[in-house]
A and B are shown apart, each in its own frame.
Chain A
């Protein structure tokens, strides 16, 4: 690992939009998606950007649409899906790409790291084959160049040069996830999509993988979309956060301000229901009820049935995203944002 790196708290983080004159690594505008046999869209007007070299967390519970959003970026969609809106990766619209452009996107421009490395690696092939397969098959590099690049990346993720000769079964989960990260960086992507990349790992291993992703972002300038259900993790690692509920962005803003002063009751409820080490002891504040299912079309705010602040307005009119006073980058889709006290969540 590169020990000359400053640690992330000292590194200035790029503002939303990232470096000037570079197209955003990812720019999703008004994405709506419907699956067959559902009453409501699974994604309903999602707007999300990841600037060049920026780390963005997408937080939500099961069924919120966070994984679907990240998979849409590689156009890995379930059969029968209809989409509206645009998804630009490094300036190109993913939803209108032809097969050749799509292959280029998936091998070069963007890469994905999945939750379970064991499910994403062929157990019968050596690590070295796995790392170089994509760039060799797509004739991006010569076999020799691919091997050299693989060696360089394995070193960058803290693995030794004998790893390419090993089989996946001979490595631990943390080591395999490092291999996955190295594989994702082989094509030198502009955008890295990480879908719960540390959920299957032990907490101390999680810290090492997160530190590694931070170093690599600084070193290679890769934009990172980090999909997670863990609010604490999102707060710890990201520049900006999006909180999703029922296929919509409930709240977004700089990580520090979203967690210190949540403006959507759902974000606040999530923070309150997490059993943290600093939270007040005793009973947790659980969120009653269930997220809305896909069989019914909700009217108004999808969180209203579970929300303590809900009024009649919430059940009739869908709230639009509104910025906080004095903080244009921090927006929430709630009619009653101003009624939420500025109680710190988990600071």
Chain B
């Protein structure tokens, strides 16, 4: 059996008494797109940070094409090699870019770090083109760009080293809907063109439905439901998944029933 692109097995992380991530296991196939859905405190962001390498796990493994990345990297070369496996796009494009660095310089810095000795200029043009930014944007500073344009820059920066996996942590949550739609379409096009795999962290089930093949639903550090996105959203098994779906506001929505369902679910919980 071929190694999956990304394999996460038995991941655990505790902060004090809180089990932020509790025995989380999933795999992402080549070129796949997996959504992790949950509310604040569900452990979805901590999971993402461990996968990327911004946090460490107490137990469990993260493997990319069979290579373990849970242990401390030995030296600079290995650290850079791991960075080339997985890249991350953050929620807030206003905070994730250095205000003093132009778009071109952001991309050049990344490329010179990972591909020393190669002329970065052609790749920079290619990346800007790929994310739909004109060469005119190359000289711009982040403050001269809109939120959507900044998020395109952040995506270009993440794609620069041709990662196997892109982790997107609420990457469209801060954008206006019309811009959000542009970015979601862009992400779909990039996946088709490059075969990069997505790990899509979001609280928004509409977004999950739009850009993922598979989904896992997390609550209090644990996976409560997982499966093909279309199946899970069509026939949710777990009460919490149903609650999340019912909570999406739409005409005829009944917020009182949701409040009651939420309290019922909380009362069902065995004491933590």
Contacts and interface: CB of A to CB of B under 8 A. Distances in A.
Interface stretch (A21-29, A141-149, A226-234): A226-234
B178 A286 contact: yes
The contact size tier of chain B is 35 or more
Interface residues on A, range: 35 or more
B150 to A, nearest CB: 13
Interface stretch (A73-81, A271-279, A327-335): A271-279
B18 interface: no
Contacts, number: 131
A274 B177 contact: yes
Interface of A: 1, 5, 7-9, 61-62, 173, 202-208, 210-211, 214, 229-233, 235-237, 255-256, 259-260, 269-270, 273-279, 281, 283-288, 290, 346-347
Contacts of A232: 248-250, 253
Interface of B: 39-40, 146-148, 176-182, 184-185, 188, 203-207, 209-210, 230, 233, 243-259, 262
A273 B180 contact: yes
Contact of B249 (A62, A206, A290): A206
Nearest to A255: B251
Given A62-B147, A237-B249, 4 more contacts: A5-B256, A208-B255, A255-B251, A256-B251
A330 B146 CA distance: 33
A229 B176 contact: yes
Contacts of A233: 249
A205 B182 CA distance: 28
A8 B230 CA distance: 31
A347 B188 CA distance: 26
Given A204-B39, A284-B185, A347 B251 contact: yes
Nearest to A215: B256
A211 B205 contact: no
17 contacts: A202-B203, A207-B247, A207-B249, A207-B255, A208-B259, A230-B249, A232-B250, A233-B249, A256-B251, A275-B204, A277-B209, A284-B181, A284-B184, A287-B181, A287-B182, A346-B251, A347-B251
B251 A203 contact: no
Contact of A259 (B147, B251, B255): B251
Given A277-B209, A290-B146, A207 B177 contact: no
B171 to A, nearest CB: 13
A276 B184 CA distance: 13
Contacts of A208: 255, 258-259, 262
B209 A9 contact: no
